[in-house]
Amino acid sequence: MAPALNDNQWLWVPGGEFNGIVNIINAGVPQPKQHPGVMPPKGGGSFTDEQVRAIGAYVYALSHQGGA
């Protein structure tokens, strides 16, 4: 359904940098590269900008363990 977010491979976020993660969460992915269904904006949820940044920080932390 959707790509792993806990590795260092990115389809949409070069380098997995924080602002890029936040941007793709907000925008969603209308035309996925490797998955059959779309990602809706904010994952289909209703979140404030602050909440999206918090989710983005969590995804960033998941994918940057071990100092990578």
Residue from 43, 51, 54, 61 touching ligand HEM (CB under 6 A): that is 43
Q: Does 29 bind ligand HEM (CB under 6 A)?
A: yes
The tally of CA atoms less than 13 A away on the side-chain side of residue 44 is: 3
Q: Does 5 bind ligand HEM (CB under 6 A)?
A: yes
Which tokens belong to 68? 């990578």
Does residue 66 come out as left (phi exceeding 0), alpha (psi in the -120 to 50 range) or beta?
left
Helix (H, G, I), strand (E, B) or coil at 3: coil
Q: Does 59 bind ligand HEM (CB under 6 A)?
A: yes
Residues that bind ligand HEM (CB under 6 A): 1-3, 5, 10-13, 21, 24-25, 29, 32-35, 37, 39, 43-45, 55, 59
